[in-house]
Chain A
């Protein structure tokens, strides 16, 4: 299938891209690697008047340290992270997750900022970055603001991006060496969009945990306390409260029993990994 006609611009800087965006009166779409937008254009689900291609912007291919955090440009690709071309402050979590996104040919062009902006509930970064407590930097002609990924994702394909705003960077907080991470997803075949996914972060030093259940038709379910483990972080596997997880899914609108079973099973796998 072929895309409908559009005008195309490749600005030479972020500010030029923002100018184009501001002048387009909502008729423009930003494109980075185009691995989500490309299919939607070909299927004509999206028919913008103008595409602003930011993939080549050097400003968005940067890597900076900010204290213990790592701030990476929105146009870094999944393959950049998978191959370790940027430092990893997450004890290998970022590398591992990126290696499981779609296929290598897609990872060579697909970007982390693009994936977040697209906000597909089944996207690995939405769930993972929420669990990691990552932040996202939004830039517009008026200035810039930082949001937690959990605030940024507002629903299926819905983000907090305002008109004229662009995702320019992702802030990755450093994980302490003692932190434990578990991740699981259910796909019919490797690389396919997941029907269920879960990320589990346990920080024993701070007696803190964060559980994220993704790939549901809305924002991921985030459990920031240890209620899923009966209030303690000892014996995670044995303490895992499947009924509570099931009720949370029910409350989030997952009404199908089989779907909930898959979600709970995937969560149990992620917990088992974090507990191992």
Chain B
């Protein structure tokens, strides 16, 4: 959190914000100035336009902390403004108000055009307003209103001013005078953030969340259900069977902290997190609920895996039925499409099943399966692609 000083609509204001807070959110959420509207939040629609040091700027893509020391005028601050008053009257007269959502931003941009445009040239006004979208498409009235105000003022002998009279250089709102108010050094600030993040992982309560995606899977292990269930109860062994998993701590019998590594080409994610295990001895079922965060890709995941041991082959073998649900958020989530994750999970499940089988039937040396394995997702995906191509080729040949 950073403390900044702003002059908002003529009032000196000291406020504390997170660095990521943009100016519009600060005004709306902390200062209750809800006249500044938010539409797209990436600088296209213009609804959030306000005056920063007297010049129009987008408040949704301007960080509040970057405006320390700046003068801000929102639509609420234009009540006494002469041009805004003329524009209000003209907007009302020309039916330029419509639903009103775009109006604060329109007034801000229109006021700037009234100040800067030499003549009430319609094309210039339209181009000047092109950064403000009106979902009612009420542009005709808006343009007419702005033209009327410009025309009236020029007739009254009020000349246009290049740059609306601005003389200083550089981005509006960023005050050379206000710098050096932040004192923390970056490494410290970053360390604090890292600490916050680590604390967040350490002390997290594993929440019960409804996963965004879910699917089922199953595999067969050549061992009795009770044996498999027991294996699922031994956290260390279970993790050893799970590709890429490492346990860092078991703070309580039902709780695991650790890491799962996945590599996808140049992308390598290491999800650190914690999980809780619930077991139901009578039904030979259980559930793991966990969440993790990959520091490097800033991707978070949460999910749950439920299992149920179903006896097959007269109880000599077990079909493990899994219900997997997960949510991903962050950059990797944009890459990791649904089918992609499903294929990946299917491959992980297969390797996991093989490892469980090996473990229970002693087919391999303990050391090999106890070693945490690194899962190469790219290799797995190529494998998936190959499998699919083979299937496709077979189908084509059949026809």
Chain A residues proximal to chain B, CB less than 8 Å: 1-12, 20, 23-24, 27-28, 31-35, 38-39, 41-45, 47, 49-53, 55-58, 60-61, 63, 73, 75-77, 79-80, 82-86, 102-106, 108-111, 189-191
Contacts and interface: CB of A to CB of B under 8 A. Distances in A.
12 contacts: A2-B25, A10-B179, A39-B42, A39-B61, A44-B330, A77-B172, A83-B166, A85-B163, A108-B57, A108-B172, A109-B174, A110-B171
B136 interface: no
A180 B192 CA distance: 55
A79 B112 CA distance: 13
Interface residues of B, number: 60
A190 B127 contact: yes
B98 interface: no
B130 A8 contact: no
B190 A109 contact: no
Interface in B111-131: 112, 126-128, 130-131
A109 B62 CA distance: 9
B330 A47 contact: yes
Main SS of the interface on chain A? loop
A53 B181 CA distance: 12
Nearest to B130: A190
Q: Which 4 A-B residue pairings sit nearest by Cβ, starting from the closest?
A: A103-B131, A38-B61, A83-B163, A8-B19
Interface in B60-87: 60-63, 65-66, 68
Interface of B: 2, 18-20, 22, 25, 41-43, 46, 49, 52, 55-58, 60-63, 65-66, 68, 108-109, 112, 126-128, 130-132, 162-163, 166-167, 169-176, 178-182, 184-187, 189-190, 192-193, 298, 330-331
Given A55-B66, A56-B176, 17 more contacts: A2-B25, A5-B18, A5-B193, A9-B184, A10-B181, A51-B63, A53-B65, A75-B170, A75-B171, A80-B170, A86-B169, A102-B43, A105-B112, A108-B171, A109-B58, A111-B171, A190-B126
A8 B181 contact: no
A23 B187 CA distance: 7
B179 A57 contact: yes
Nearest to B177: A56
A55 B61 CA distance: 14
Contacts of B330: 4, 44, 47
Given A56-B179, A108-B56, A27 B190 contact: yes
Contacts of A9: 182, 184-186, 189
Contacts of A82: 163
B20 A23 contact: no
Contact of A44 (B65, B128, B187, B331): B331
Which of B163, B167, B192 has its CB near the most chain A CB atoms (within 10 A)? B163
A59 to B, nearest CB: 10
A85 B166 contact: yes
A108 B55 contact: yes
Contacts of A45: 331
B193 A35 contact: no
A56 B130 contact: no
A53 B61 contact: no
